[in-house]
A and B are shown apart, each in its own frame.
Chain A
Amino acid sequence: MSNNAVSLYLDPQIRDWVLFPITLVMILVGILRHYVVLLLQSPPKELSRAALREQRALARSQILRATAANSPIPTPFYTSISQHLSDAFAAGTYLKDGPPKGDSPSTPPNPISDPAAMDGMMSGMKTQMVMMVPQMIIMGWINFFFQGFVLIKLPFPLTLGFKSMLQRGIETPDMDVRWVSSLSWYFLNFFGLNGLYRLILGDGNSADSSRDMTTSPFAGGAPAAANPVQDYNKLFKAEKDNLEFSEGLHNWVGNDVENRVLRKYGKLAPAY
Protein backbone atom coordinates (compact mmCIF):
# COMPACT_ATOMS: atom_id res chain seq x y z
CA MET A 1 0.00 0.00 0.00
CA SER A 2 2.76 2.42 0.88
CA ASN A 3 4.41 1.29 -2.26
CA ASN A 4 1.33 2.30 -4.12
CA ALA A 5 1.32 5.80 -2.61
CA VAL A 6 4.94 6.43 -3.46
CA SER A 7 4.48 5.23 -6.99
CA LEU A 8 2.28 8.23 -7.81
CA TYR A 9 3.62 11.76 -7.88
CA LEU A 10 1.44 14.72 -8.67
CA ASP A 11 2.80 17.54 -10.73
CA PRO A 12 2.50 20.81 -8.74
CA GLN A 13 1.20 22.33 -11.95
CA ILE A 14 -1.91 20.20 -11.57
CA ARG A 15 -2.51 21.85 -8.19
CA ASP A 16 -1.98 25.35 -9.60
CA TRP A 17 -3.78 25.00 -12.89
CA VAL A 18 -6.52 22.45 -12.21
CA LEU A 19 -7.33 22.07 -8.52
CA PHE A 20 -7.39 25.74 -7.61
CA PRO A 21 -9.15 26.94 -10.77
CA ILE A 22 -11.97 24.41 -10.36
CA THR A 23 -12.53 25.44 -6.76
CA LEU A 24 -12.29 29.12 -7.53
CA VAL A 25 -14.64 28.93 -10.49
CA MET A 26 -17.20 27.06 -8.47
CA ILE A 27 -17.10 29.59 -5.65
CA LEU A 28 -17.36 32.52 -8.04
CA VAL A 29 -20.20 30.93 -9.98
CA GLY A 30 -22.05 30.38 -6.71
CA ILE A 31 -21.67 34.03 -5.77
CA LEU A 32 -22.68 35.16 -9.24
CA ARG A 33 -25.69 32.92 -9.09
CA HIS A 34 -26.72 34.47 -5.77
CA TYR A 35 -26.81 37.93 -7.32
CA VAL A 36 -28.49 36.80 -10.53
CA VAL A 37 -31.26 35.16 -8.51
CA LEU A 38 -31.64 38.39 -6.53
CA LEU A 39 -32.05 40.25 -9.81
CA LEU A 40 -34.54 37.78 -11.21
CA GLN A 41 -36.73 37.68 -8.15
CA SER A 42 -39.82 39.72 -8.74
CA PRO A 43 -41.36 41.20 -5.60
CA PRO A 44 -44.25 39.08 -4.31
CA LYS A 45 -47.42 40.14 -6.00
CA GLU A 46 -49.71 42.13 -3.82
CA LEU A 47 -53.09 40.60 -3.20
CA SER A 48 -56.20 42.65 -3.58
CA ARG A 49 -58.33 43.33 -0.54
CA ALA A 50 -60.95 40.83 -1.60
CA ALA A 51 -58.40 38.07 -2.15
CA LEU A 52 -56.80 38.75 1.21
CA ARG A 53 -60.18 38.67 2.89
CA GLU A 54 -60.99 35.37 1.26
CA GLN A 55 -57.69 33.88 2.37
CA ARG A 56 -58.09 34.99 5.95
CA ALA A 57 -61.75 34.17 6.44
CA LEU A 58 -60.95 30.62 7.41
CA ALA A 59 -58.52 31.76 10.10
CA ARG A 60 -61.40 33.70 11.59
CA SER A 61 -63.56 30.72 12.18
CA GLN A 62 -60.58 28.68 13.30
CA ILE A 63 -59.85 31.20 16.03
CA LEU A 64 -63.44 31.06 17.10
CA ARG A 65 -63.52 27.28 17.13
CA ALA A 66 -60.22 26.94 18.96
CA THR A 67 -61.67 28.73 21.97
CA ALA A 68 -65.05 26.99 21.94
CA ALA A 69 -64.47 24.46 24.71
CA ASN A 70 -63.17 27.09 27.10
CA SER A 71 -64.53 30.22 25.57
CA PRO A 72 -63.77 33.68 26.93
CA ILE A 73 -67.07 35.05 25.70
CA PRO A 74 -70.61 34.33 26.88
CA THR A 75 -72.91 32.10 24.88
CA PRO A 76 -75.05 34.80 23.21
CA PHE A 77 -71.95 36.56 21.90
CA TYR A 78 -70.42 33.32 20.74
CA THR A 79 -73.57 32.21 19.01
CA SER A 80 -74.01 35.50 17.22
CA ILE A 81 -70.46 35.46 15.87
CA SER A 82 -70.71 31.82 14.94
CA GLN A 83 -74.07 32.28 13.22
CA HIS A 84 -72.84 35.32 11.37
CA LEU A 85 -69.82 33.43 10.09
CA SER A 86 -71.69 30.34 8.99
CA ASP A 87 -74.31 32.45 7.24
CA ALA A 88 -71.54 34.31 5.46
CA PHE A 89 -69.87 31.05 4.49
CA ALA A 90 -73.13 29.63 3.20
CA ALA A 91 -73.86 32.72 1.17
CA GLY A 92 -70.31 33.01 -0.08
CA THR A 93 -69.87 36.57 1.15
CA TYR A 94 -66.18 36.05 1.70
CA LEU A 95 -65.47 34.73 -1.77
CA LYS A 96 -63.14 36.87 -3.81
CA ASP A 97 -65.53 37.23 -6.70
CA GLY A 98 -68.62 37.64 -4.59
CA PRO A 99 -71.32 35.02 -4.00
CA PRO A 100 -71.48 32.36 -6.70
CA LYS A 101 -74.15 33.03 -9.30
CA GLY A 102 -76.78 30.50 -10.15
CA ASP A 103 -76.06 26.84 -9.56
CA SER A 104 -73.22 26.42 -12.01
CA PRO A 105 -70.93 23.66 -10.78
CA SER A 106 -67.84 25.22 -9.27
CA THR A 107 -64.68 23.84 -10.76
CA PRO A 108 -61.26 24.62 -9.37
CA PRO A 109 -59.50 26.94 -11.80
CA ASN A 110 -56.81 25.44 -13.94
CA PRO A 111 -53.38 26.48 -12.61
CA ILE A 112 -52.01 26.87 -16.14
CA SER A 113 -54.71 29.31 -17.18
CA ASP A 114 -54.46 31.40 -14.02
CA PRO A 115 -51.86 34.11 -14.67
CA ALA A 116 -51.14 34.59 -10.96
CA ALA A 117 -50.31 30.92 -10.49
CA MET A 118 -48.30 30.92 -13.68
CA ASP A 119 -46.09 33.69 -12.34
CA GLY A 120 -45.15 31.69 -9.29
CA MET A 121 -44.26 28.70 -11.40
CA MET A 122 -42.22 30.74 -13.83
CA SER A 123 -40.14 32.34 -11.10
CA GLY A 124 -39.33 28.88 -9.75
CA MET A 125 -38.28 27.74 -13.20
CA LYS A 126 -36.13 30.82 -13.72
CA THR A 127 -34.16 30.16 -10.55
CA GLN A 128 -33.76 26.57 -11.57
CA MET A 129 -32.36 27.60 -14.93
CA VAL A 130 -29.88 30.00 -13.35
CA MET A 131 -28.52 27.14 -11.34
CA MET A 132 -28.68 24.36 -13.92
CA VAL A 133 -26.97 26.13 -16.81
CA PRO A 134 -23.70 27.14 -15.12
CA GLN A 135 -23.38 23.79 -13.39
CA MET A 136 -23.81 22.00 -16.69
CA ILE A 137 -21.17 24.22 -18.27
CA ILE A 138 -18.69 23.66 -15.46
CA MET A 139 -19.22 19.95 -15.57
CA GLY A 140 -18.69 19.93 -19.31
CA TRP A 141 -15.57 22.00 -18.93
CA ILE A 142 -14.12 19.64 -16.37
CA ASN A 143 -15.08 16.59 -18.35
CA PHE A 144 -13.58 17.98 -21.52
CA PHE A 145 -10.27 19.30 -20.25
CA PHE A 146 -9.50 17.40 -17.08
CA GLN A 147 -11.03 14.00 -17.64
CA GLY A 148 -9.17 11.35 -15.71
CA PHE A 149 -7.02 13.82 -13.77
CA VAL A 150 -6.00 12.94 -10.26
CA LEU A 151 -6.00 16.17 -8.36
CA ILE A 152 -5.34 15.64 -4.70
CA LYS A 153 -4.50 13.05 -2.12
CA LEU A 154 -6.51 13.01 1.05
CA PRO A 155 -4.34 13.01 4.19
CA PHE A 156 -6.29 10.16 5.80
CA PRO A 157 -7.04 6.57 4.76
CA LEU A 158 -10.51 5.57 3.65
CA THR A 159 -12.29 2.29 3.08
CA LEU A 160 -12.89 0.89 -0.34
CA GLY A 161 -16.51 1.97 -0.31
CA PHE A 162 -15.50 5.57 -0.99
CA LYS A 163 -13.95 4.62 -4.28
CA SER A 164 -16.99 5.43 -6.38
CA MET A 165 -17.38 8.73 -4.59
CA LEU A 166 -13.78 9.92 -4.81
CA GLN A 167 -12.58 8.45 -8.09
CA ARG A 168 -15.40 9.03 -10.48
CA GLY A 169 -14.11 9.12 -14.01
CA ILE A 170 -11.08 6.94 -13.31
CA GLU A 171 -11.83 3.30 -13.80
CA THR A 172 -8.88 1.70 -12.08
CA PRO A 173 -9.64 -1.04 -9.56
CA ASP A 174 -6.42 -0.96 -7.54
CA MET A 175 -5.57 2.72 -7.01
CA ASP A 176 -5.57 3.89 -3.41
CA VAL A 177 -8.92 5.38 -2.40
CA ARG A 178 -7.17 8.48 -1.05
CA TRP A 179 -6.61 9.86 -4.52
CA VAL A 180 -9.41 12.17 -5.70
CA SER A 181 -10.30 12.55 -9.35
CA SER A 182 -11.25 15.83 -11.00
CA LEU A 183 -14.90 14.96 -11.48
CA SER A 184 -15.17 13.84 -7.86
CA TRP A 185 -13.54 17.06 -6.73
CA TYR A 186 -16.23 18.89 -8.64
CA PHE A 187 -18.95 16.95 -6.83
CA LEU A 188 -17.30 17.44 -3.44
CA ASN A 189 -17.30 21.18 -4.08
CA PHE A 190 -20.82 21.09 -5.44
CA PHE A 191 -22.22 19.64 -2.25
CA GLY A 192 -19.74 21.08 0.20
CA LEU A 193 -19.48 24.76 -0.59
CA ASN A 194 -22.69 25.79 1.16
CA GLY A 195 -20.88 26.51 4.41
CA LEU A 196 -18.49 28.81 2.61
CA TYR A 197 -21.33 30.65 0.87
CA ARG A 198 -23.01 31.15 4.19
CA LEU A 199 -19.84 32.77 5.46
CA ILE A 200 -19.50 35.03 2.45
CA LEU A 201 -23.10 35.90 1.63
CA GLY A 202 -24.88 35.36 4.93
CA ASP A 203 -27.79 33.08 5.72
CA GLY A 204 -30.59 32.47 3.28
CA ASN A 205 -28.40 32.96 0.23
CA SER A 206 -29.33 31.39 -3.05
CA ALA A 207 -25.83 30.41 -4.13
CA ASP A 208 -26.04 26.79 -3.08
CA SER A 209 -27.21 24.73 -5.97
CA SER A 210 -27.14 21.27 -4.43
CA ARG A 211 -30.30 22.11 -2.53
CA ASP A 212 -32.24 22.86 -5.70
CA MET A 213 -30.84 19.77 -7.35
CA THR A 214 -32.93 17.56 -5.13
CA THR A 215 -36.17 19.14 -6.23
CA SER A 216 -37.69 19.02 -9.67
CA PRO A 217 -38.09 22.26 -11.59
CA PHE A 218 -41.82 22.25 -10.98
CA ALA A 219 -41.69 21.49 -7.29
CA GLY A 220 -40.23 24.89 -6.45
CA GLY A 221 -43.19 26.80 -7.72
CA ALA A 222 -45.83 24.28 -6.76
CA PRO A 223 -46.42 25.09 -3.07
CA ALA A 224 -46.76 28.78 -3.82
CA ALA A 225 -48.95 28.09 -6.80
CA ALA A 226 -51.15 25.64 -4.95
CA ASN A 227 -52.61 28.34 -2.72
CA PRO A 228 -54.57 30.40 -5.21
CA VAL A 229 -55.90 27.25 -6.80
CA GLN A 230 -57.80 26.26 -3.68
CA ASP A 231 -61.53 26.17 -4.05
CA TYR A 232 -62.51 28.41 -1.19
CA ASN A 233 -66.19 27.87 -1.73
CA LYS A 234 -65.80 24.21 -0.86
CA LEU A 235 -63.57 24.96 2.11
CA PHE A 236 -66.11 27.44 3.44
CA LYS A 237 -68.91 24.94 3.15
CA ALA A 238 -66.87 22.42 5.13
CA GLU A 239 -65.98 25.02 7.71
CA LYS A 240 -69.66 25.73 8.21
CA ASP A 241 -70.20 22.22 9.55
CA ASN A 242 -67.21 22.59 11.84
CA LEU A 243 -68.70 25.77 13.22
CA GLU A 244 -71.99 24.07 14.01
CA PHE A 245 -70.14 21.31 15.75
CA SER A 246 -68.13 23.75 17.86
CA GLU A 247 -71.24 25.63 18.80
CA GLY A 248 -72.44 22.52 20.60
CA LEU A 249 -69.14 22.35 22.47
CA HIS A 250 -69.23 25.94 23.60
CA ASN A 251 -68.63 26.48 27.28
CA TRP A 252 -68.07 29.92 28.71
CA VAL A 253 -65.32 30.25 31.31
CA GLY A 254 -67.69 32.42 33.29
CA ASN A 255 -70.27 29.66 33.74
CA ASP A 256 -68.96 28.42 37.03
CA VAL A 257 -66.54 31.16 37.88
CA GLU A 258 -68.22 32.35 41.10
CA ASN A 259 -67.84 28.93 42.71
CA ARG A 260 -64.23 28.70 41.60
CA VAL A 261 -63.45 32.08 43.12
CA LEU A 262 -65.30 31.28 46.34
CA ARG A 263 -63.40 28.02 46.65
CA LYS A 264 -60.11 29.75 45.97
CA TYR A 265 -60.73 32.05 48.93
CA GLY A 266 -61.99 29.25 51.14
CA LYS A 267 -65.60 30.43 51.32
CA LEU A 268 -67.01 27.30 49.78
CA ALA A 269 -66.13 23.70 50.47
CA PRO A 270 -64.04 22.15 47.71
CA ALA A 271 -66.05 20.30 45.10
CA TYR A 272 -64.37 16.97 45.66
Chain B
Amino acid sequence: MSLPSALQKLASYRKNNTRASQETFKEGLVVLNAGGTNKLGDEGWAFLEQLALAAIDVGRLDVADRCLKQLGQKFPGSPRVDVLTGIRMEATESPSTVLNYYDELLRASPSNAAIWKRRISVLRRVGKIDKAVEELNEYLDTFYTDLEGWLELADVHSSCNQYQFALQALSHALLLSPQNPFTFLQFAETAYTAGDVPLALKMFLVVIDMNDGEDEDTIPLGISVRAWWGTKLCTRLLVSSSSTHTSSSNTSVPKNIKLIDELATERVLTAYSGEQGIQARGLVSKWMSGR
Protein backbone atom coordinates (compact mmCIF):
# COMPACT_ATOMS: atom_id res chain seq x y z
CA MET B 1 0.00 0.00 0.00
CA SER B 2 1.55 3.25 -1.08
CA LEU B 3 1.59 6.26 1.19
CA PRO B 4 -0.53 8.65 -0.91
CA SER B 5 -3.34 6.20 -1.50
CA ALA B 6 -3.37 5.23 2.17
CA LEU B 7 -3.58 8.88 3.15
CA GLN B 8 -6.39 9.49 0.73
CA LYS B 9 -8.39 6.56 2.04
CA LEU B 10 -7.87 7.63 5.63
CA ALA B 11 -8.97 11.17 4.84
CA SER B 12 -12.16 9.91 3.25
CA TYR B 13 -12.84 7.71 6.32
CA ARG B 14 -12.43 10.75 8.51
CA LYS B 15 -14.72 12.83 6.37
CA ASN B 16 -17.48 10.25 6.24
CA ASN B 17 -17.08 9.24 9.86
CA THR B 18 -16.49 5.63 8.86
CA ARG B 19 -15.45 3.37 11.69
CA ALA B 20 -13.81 0.64 9.53
CA SER B 21 -11.23 0.04 12.24
CA GLN B 22 -9.39 -2.87 10.67
CA GLU B 23 -8.72 -1.02 7.43
CA THR B 24 -7.97 2.24 9.18
CA PHE B 25 -5.49 0.48 11.40
CA LYS B 26 -3.79 -1.33 8.55
CA GLU B 27 -3.34 1.78 6.48
CA GLY B 28 -2.69 4.03 9.42
CA LEU B 29 0.20 1.86 10.52
CA VAL B 30 1.79 2.24 7.08
CA VAL B 31 1.54 6.00 7.39
CA LEU B 32 2.77 6.05 10.97
CA ASN B 33 5.79 3.89 10.24
CA ALA B 34 6.64 5.92 7.16
CA GLY B 35 6.67 9.02 9.33
CA GLY B 36 3.83 10.53 7.34
CA THR B 37 2.44 12.48 10.28
CA ASN B 38 4.97 15.24 9.84
CA LYS B 39 4.20 15.60 6.18
CA LEU B 40 0.50 15.95 6.83
CA GLY B 41 0.82 19.20 8.73
CA ASP B 42 -2.25 20.06 10.74
CA GLU B 43 -4.15 17.09 9.38
CA GLY B 44 -1.58 14.82 10.97
CA TRP B 45 -3.14 15.32 14.38
CA ALA B 46 -6.59 14.36 13.21
CA PHE B 47 -4.99 11.30 11.65
CA LEU B 48 -3.30 10.35 14.92
CA GLU B 49 -6.61 10.55 16.74
CA GLN B 50 -8.25 8.38 14.11
CA LEU B 51 -5.47 5.81 14.25
CA ALA B 52 -5.52 5.74 18.05
CA LEU B 53 -9.24 4.97 18.07
CA ALA B 54 -8.86 2.29 15.40
CA ALA B 55 -5.91 0.75 17.25
CA ILE B 56 -7.94 0.54 20.45
CA ASP B 57 -10.75 -1.06 18.45
CA VAL B 58 -8.52 -3.79 17.07
CA GLY B 59 -6.69 -4.26 20.37
CA ARG B 60 -3.26 -2.96 19.35
CA LEU B 61 -2.82 -0.83 22.43
CA ASP B 62 0.90 -0.28 21.81
CA VAL B 63 0.12 1.65 18.64
CA ALA B 64 -2.62 3.58 20.42
CA ASP B 65 -0.16 4.55 23.13
CA ARG B 66 2.30 5.79 20.54
CA CYS B 67 -0.36 8.03 18.99
CA LEU B 68 -1.53 9.23 22.37
CA LYS B 69 1.97 10.14 23.41
CA GLN B 70 2.48 12.30 20.35
CA LEU B 71 -0.89 13.95 20.75
CA GLY B 72 -0.35 14.57 24.44
CA GLN B 73 2.95 16.27 23.75
CA LYS B 74 1.46 18.53 21.11
CA PHE B 75 -1.77 19.41 22.92
CA PRO B 76 -1.27 19.29 26.67
CA GLY B 77 -4.55 19.70 28.49
CA SER B 78 -6.70 19.41 25.38
CA PRO B 79 -10.17 18.02 26.19
CA ARG B 80 -10.12 15.98 23.01
CA VAL B 81 -6.93 14.22 24.04
CA ASP B 82 -8.42 13.72 27.49
CA VAL B 83 -11.35 11.87 25.98
CA LEU B 84 -9.01 9.75 23.92
CA THR B 85 -6.95 8.93 27.00
CA GLY B 86 -10.18 7.96 28.74
CA ILE B 87 -11.12 5.60 25.94
CA ARG B 88 -7.66 4.09 26.10
CA MET B 89 -8.07 3.62 29.85
CA GLU B 90 -11.41 1.93 29.36
CA ALA B 91 -9.61 -0.75 27.37
CA THR B 92 -7.43 -1.90 30.26
CA GLU B 93 -8.28 -0.19 33.52
CA SER B 94 -11.09 -1.14 35.84
CA PRO B 95 -14.36 0.73 35.30
CA SER B 96 -14.13 2.43 38.68
CA THR B 97 -10.74 3.93 37.81
CA VAL B 98 -12.10 5.20 34.52
CA LEU B 99 -15.18 6.60 36.21
CA ASN B 100 -12.99 8.44 38.67
CA TYR B 101 -10.95 9.82 35.81
CA TYR B 102 -14.06 11.06 34.02
CA ASP B 103 -15.47 12.49 37.24
CA GLU B 104 -12.34 14.51 37.70
CA LEU B 105 -12.46 15.85 34.15
CA LEU B 106 -16.13 16.72 34.50
CA ARG B 107 -15.48 18.57 37.70
CA ALA B 108 -12.95 20.71 35.84
CA SER B 109 -15.23 21.37 32.85
CA PRO B 110 -18.84 20.39 33.60
CA SER B 111 -20.12 21.07 30.11
CA ASN B 112 -17.79 18.81 28.16
CA ALA B 113 -20.29 16.73 26.18
CA ALA B 114 -17.85 14.09 24.94
CA ILE B 115 -16.61 13.18 28.41
CA TRP B 116 -20.13 13.19 29.76
CA LYS B 117 -21.18 10.73 27.09
CA ARG B 118 -18.21 8.45 27.74
CA ARG B 119 -19.08 8.45 31.42
CA ILE B 120 -22.65 7.43 30.66
CA SER B 121 -21.50 4.63 28.41
CA VAL B 122 -19.19 3.30 31.11
CA LEU B 123 -22.02 3.47 33.65
CA ARG B 124 -24.20 1.44 31.31
CA ARG B 125 -21.46 -1.08 30.68
CA VAL B 126 -20.90 -1.81 34.35
CA GLY B 127 -24.63 -2.38 34.81
CA LYS B 128 -25.60 0.78 36.66
CA ILE B 129 -28.53 1.23 34.31
CA ASP B 130 -30.54 3.46 36.64
CA LYS B 131 -27.62 5.83 37.11
CA ALA B 132 -26.88 5.79 33.37
CA VAL B 133 -30.48 6.65 32.48
CA GLU B 134 -30.56 9.42 35.03
CA GLU B 135 -27.35 10.92 33.67
CA LEU B 136 -28.44 10.44 30.09
CA ASN B 137 -31.69 12.27 30.78
CA GLU B 138 -29.82 15.14 32.31
CA TYR B 139 -27.37 15.14 29.40
CA LEU B 140 -30.14 15.22 26.82
CA ASP B 141 -31.91 17.96 28.70
CA THR B 142 -28.82 20.06 28.13
CA PHE B 143 -27.70 18.82 24.73
CA TYR B 144 -31.10 18.23 23.20
CA THR B 145 -29.89 17.94 19.62
CA ASP B 146 -27.75 14.87 20.22
CA LEU B 147 -29.52 12.28 18.10
CA GLU B 148 -27.12 9.54 19.16
CA GLY B 149 -28.02 10.19 22.78
CA TRP B 150 -31.75 9.81 22.18
CA LEU B 151 -31.24 6.57 20.29
CA GLU B 152 -29.07 5.30 23.13
CA LEU B 153 -31.75 6.23 25.64
CA ALA B 154 -34.35 4.38 23.57
CA ASP B 155 -32.04 1.38 23.46
CA VAL B 156 -31.52 1.41 27.21
CA HIS B 157 -35.26 1.62 27.84
CA SER B 158 -35.95 -1.17 25.34
CA SER B 159 -33.40 -3.39 27.01
CA CYS B 160 -35.33 -2.97 30.27
CA ASN B 161 -38.69 -3.64 28.60
CA GLN B 162 -39.74 -0.02 29.17
CA TYR B 163 -41.21 0.31 25.71
CA GLN B 164 -43.35 3.35 26.43
CA PHE B 165 -40.28 5.27 27.59
CA ALA B 166 -38.38 3.98 24.58
CA LEU B 167 -41.12 5.32 22.33
CA GLN B 168 -40.86 8.71 23.97
CA ALA B 169 -37.11 8.81 23.44
CA LEU B 170 -37.58 7.71 19.84
CA SER B 171 -40.12 10.43 19.23
CA HIS B 172 -37.44 12.97 20.13
CA ALA B 173 -35.07 11.18 17.77
CA LEU B 174 -37.73 11.42 15.05
CA LEU B 175 -38.09 15.13 15.61
CA LEU B 176 -34.35 15.51 15.17
CA SER B 177 -34.06 13.39 12.03
CA PRO B 178 -37.46 13.33 10.35
CA GLN B 179 -35.79 12.28 7.10
CA ASN B 180 -34.34 9.00 8.33
CA PRO B 181 -36.57 5.97 7.58
CA PHE B 182 -34.54 3.76 9.90
CA THR B 183 -35.59 5.79 12.92
CA PHE B 184 -39.20 5.43 11.81
CA LEU B 185 -38.70 1.69 11.43
CA GLN B 186 -37.27 1.46 14.92
CA PHE B 187 -40.21 3.45 16.25
CA ALA B 188 -42.65 1.14 14.46
CA GLU B 189 -40.99 -1.99 15.77
CA THR B 190 -40.84 -0.63 19.29
CA ALA B 191 -44.52 0.29 19.08
CA TYR B 192 -45.31 -3.22 17.87
CA THR B 193 -43.40 -4.72 20.76
CA ALA B 194 -45.15 -2.37 23.15
CA GLY B 195 -48.46 -3.76 21.89
CA ASP B 196 -49.64 -0.61 20.16
CA VAL B 197 -50.38 -2.36 16.88
CA PRO B 198 -52.34 0.44 15.10
CA LEU B 199 -49.55 2.90 15.79
CA ALA B 200 -46.96 0.40 14.59
CA LEU B 201 -48.95 -0.19 11.40
CA LYS B 202 -49.08 3.53 10.63
CA MET B 203 -45.37 3.91 11.23
CA PHE B 204 -44.50 0.93 9.03
CA LEU B 205 -46.61 2.50 6.31
CA VAL B 206 -44.76 5.80 6.76
CA VAL B 207 -41.48 3.97 6.17
CA ILE B 208 -42.90 2.49 2.98
CA ASP B 209 -44.26 5.85 1.94
CA MET B 210 -40.82 7.42 2.42
CA ASN B 211 -39.25 4.96 0.04
CA ASP B 212 -39.66 6.83 -3.20
CA GLY B 213 -37.63 4.47 -5.32
CA GLU B 214 -40.17 1.68 -5.05
CA ASP B 215 -43.51 1.14 -6.80
CA GLU B 216 -45.70 -1.82 -7.72
CA ASP B 217 -43.35 -3.14 -10.40
CA THR B 218 -40.18 -3.31 -8.33
CA ILE B 219 -39.10 -5.97 -5.90
CA PRO B 220 -38.86 -4.62 -2.33
CA LEU B 221 -35.30 -4.54 -1.05
CA GLY B 222 -33.54 -3.77 2.18
CA ILE B 223 -35.49 -1.66 4.59
CA SER B 224 -38.77 -1.95 2.74
CA VAL B 225 -38.82 -5.76 3.02
CA ARG B 226 -38.67 -5.33 6.75
CA ALA B 227 -41.31 -2.61 6.66
CA TRP B 228 -43.65 -4.77 4.57
CA TRP B 229 -43.17 -7.68 6.92
CA GLY B 230 -44.01 -5.40 9.80
CA THR B 231 -47.10 -4.16 8.00
CA LYS B 232 -48.16 -7.71 7.32
CA LEU B 233 -47.72 -8.71 10.98
CA CYS B 234 -49.80 -5.74 12.09
CA THR B 235 -52.61 -6.21 9.57
CA ARG B 236 -52.74 -9.92 10.33
CA LEU B 237 -53.42 -9.13 13.97
CA LEU B 238 -55.83 -6.29 13.19
CA VAL B 239 -57.87 -8.15 10.56
CA SER B 240 -58.42 -11.14 12.80
CA SER B 241 -59.50 -9.10 15.83
CA SER B 242 -60.04 -5.56 14.78
CA SER B 243 -62.20 -4.43 17.67
CA THR B 244 -60.21 -5.91 20.50
CA HIS B 245 -57.05 -3.97 19.78
CA THR B 246 -56.72 -0.89 21.85
CA SER B 247 -54.05 1.65 21.18
CA SER B 248 -52.46 3.49 24.07
CA SER B 249 -51.77 6.38 21.72
CA ASN B 250 -55.42 6.46 20.52
CA THR B 251 -54.39 5.67 16.96
CA SER B 252 -57.39 4.49 15.02
CA VAL B 253 -57.33 1.37 12.88
CA PRO B 254 -57.53 2.32 9.18
CA LYS B 255 -60.92 1.68 7.57
CA ASN B 256 -59.55 -0.15 4.56
CA ILE B 257 -57.46 -2.52 6.64
CA LYS B 258 -58.43 -5.44 4.37
CA LEU B 259 -56.95 -3.73 1.35
CA ILE B 260 -53.72 -3.00 3.18
CA ASP B 261 -53.55 -6.62 4.32
CA GLU B 262 -53.88 -7.82 0.74
CA LEU B 263 -51.30 -5.36 -0.48
CA ALA B 264 -48.86 -6.35 2.26
CA THR B 265 -49.27 -10.04 1.43
CA GLU B 266 -48.64 -9.30 -2.22
CA ARG B 267 -45.59 -7.18 -1.52
CA VAL B 268 -44.01 -9.65 0.90
CA LEU B 269 -44.47 -12.44 -1.64
CA THR B 270 -42.97 -10.19 -4.32
CA ALA B 271 -39.95 -9.71 -2.11
CA TYR B 272 -39.40 -13.46 -2.25
CA SER B 273 -39.70 -13.74 -6.02
CA GLY B 274 -36.11 -12.93 -6.93
CA GLU B 275 -33.43 -15.53 -7.49
CA GLN B 276 -32.27 -15.51 -3.92
CA GLY B 277 -35.70 -15.42 -2.35
CA ILE B 278 -37.36 -18.11 -4.37
CA GLN B 279 -36.40 -20.99 -2.07
CA ALA B 280 -38.03 -19.33 0.91
CA ARG B 281 -41.15 -18.42 -1.01
CA GLY B 282 -42.89 -21.70 -0.26
CA LEU B 283 -42.35 -21.19 3.43
CA VAL B 284 -43.60 -17.64 3.31
CA SER B 285 -46.78 -18.47 1.40
CA LYS B 286 -47.49 -21.28 3.85
CA TRP B 287 -47.20 -18.81 6.72
CA MET B 288 -49.43 -16.35 4.86
CA SER B 289 -52.23 -18.85 4.36
CA GLY B 290 -52.05 -20.32 7.83
CA ARG B 291 -53.93 -17.84 10.01
B168 touches A63 (CB 8 A): no
B142 touches A73 (CB 8 A): no
List residues of A (76-131) whose CB comes within 8 Å of B's CBs.
76-78, 80-81
With known contacts A48-B111, A74-B251, A253-B206, A262–B215 Cβ distance under 8 A: no
With known contacts A59-B145, A262-B259, A268-B259, A77–B250 Cβ distance under 8 A: no
Binary contact track B130-172/A, C-beta < 8 Å → 1, others 0: 0000000000011111000000000000000000000110011
List residues of A (56-85) whose CB comes within 8 Å of B's CBs.
56-57, 59-60, 63-64, 67, 70-78, 80-81
A46 within 8 Å of B by Cβ?
A: yes
- Distance in angstroms from B171 CB to nearest chain A CB is 4
Name the one of A56, A72, A261 contacting B144, with C-beta atoms under 8 angstroms.
A56
A254 touches B256 (CB 8 A): no
Name the one of A47, A70, A258 contacting B256, with C-beta atoms under 8 angstroms.
A258
- Which residues of chain B come closer than 8 Å to A257, judged between CB atoms? 202, 205-206, 209
B interface residues, tally (CB under 8 Å): 37
B145 touches A254 (CB 8 A): no
B176 within 8 Å of A by Cβ?
A: yes
Name the one of B144, B209, B249, B260 contacting A74, with C-beta atoms under 8 angstroms.
B249
B199 touches A74 (CB 8 A): yes
Name the one of A52, A72, A259 contacting B178, with C-beta atoms under 8 angstroms.
A72
Binary contact track B103-145/A, C-beta < 8 Å → 1, others 0: 0000001110000000000000000000000000000011111
List residues of A (180-197) whose CB comes within 8 Å of B's CBs.
none
- Which residues of chain A come closer than 8 Å to B109, judged between CB atoms? 46
With known contacts A52-B142, A60-B144, A63-B175, A260–B249 Cβ distance under 8 A: no
A264 within 8 Å of B by Cβ?
A: yes
B61 within 8 Å of A by Cβ?
A: no
- Which residues of chain B come closer than 8 Å to A261, judged between CB atoms? 205, 208-209, 260, 263
A49, A75, A80 — most chain B CB neighbours (10 Å) = A49
Name the one of A63, A78, A264 contacting B209, with C-beta atoms under 8 angstroms.
A264
A262 touches B260 (CB 8 A): yes
A63 touches B176 (CB 8 A): yes
With known contacts A47-B111, A253-B206, A267-B263, A53–B175 Cβ distance under 8 A: no
List residues of B (76-103) whose CB comes within 8 Å of A's CBs.
none
Which 4 A-B residue pairings sit nearest by Cβ, starting from the closest? A254-B202, A72-B174, A258-B254, A72-B178
A157 within 8 Å of B by Cβ?
A: no
A248 within 8 Å of B by Cβ?
A: no
A46, A76, A261 — most chain B CB neighbours (10 Å) = A261
- Which residues of chain A come closer than 8 Å to B143, judged between CB atoms? 52, 56
A73 touches B174 (CB 8 A): yes
Task: State the total of A-B contacts with C-beta under 8 angstroms.
Answer: 95
- Distance in angstroms from B229 CB to nearest chain A CB is 15
Residue of B whose beta carbon sits closest to that of A264 = B215
A interface residues, tally (CB under 8 Å): 37
- Which residues of chain B come closer than 8 Å to A270, judged between CB atoms? none
List residues of B (252-282) whose CB comes within 8 Å of A's CBs.
254, 256, 259-260, 262-263, 267
A265 to B203, CA, bound (A): 17
Q: A77-B171, A258-B205 are in contact. List 12 more A-B contacts (CB 8 A).
A: A49-B110, A64-B175, A76-B249, A77-B167, A81-B171, A254-B203, A254-B205, A257-B205, A258-B260, A260-B209, A262-B260, A264-B215
A260 to B215, CA, bound (A): 12
- Distance in angstroms from A208 CB to nearest chain B CB is 22
- Which residues of chain B come closer than 8 Å to A77, judged between CB atoms? 167-168, 171, 249
- Which residues of chain A come closer than 8 Å to B209, judged between CB atoms? 253, 257, 260-261, 264
Name the one of A53, A70, A80 contacting B141, with C-beta atoms under 8 angstroms.
A53
25 A–B contacts, CB within 8 A, in A order: A48-B111, A49-B111, A52-B143, A53-B142, A56-B144, A56-B145, A57-B144, A64-B175, A67-B175, A72-B178, A72-B184, A73-B171, A77-B167, A77-B249, A253-B209, A254-B205, A254-B251, A261-B263, A262-B260, A262-B263, A264-B215, A265-B216, A265-B263, A267-B263, A268-B259
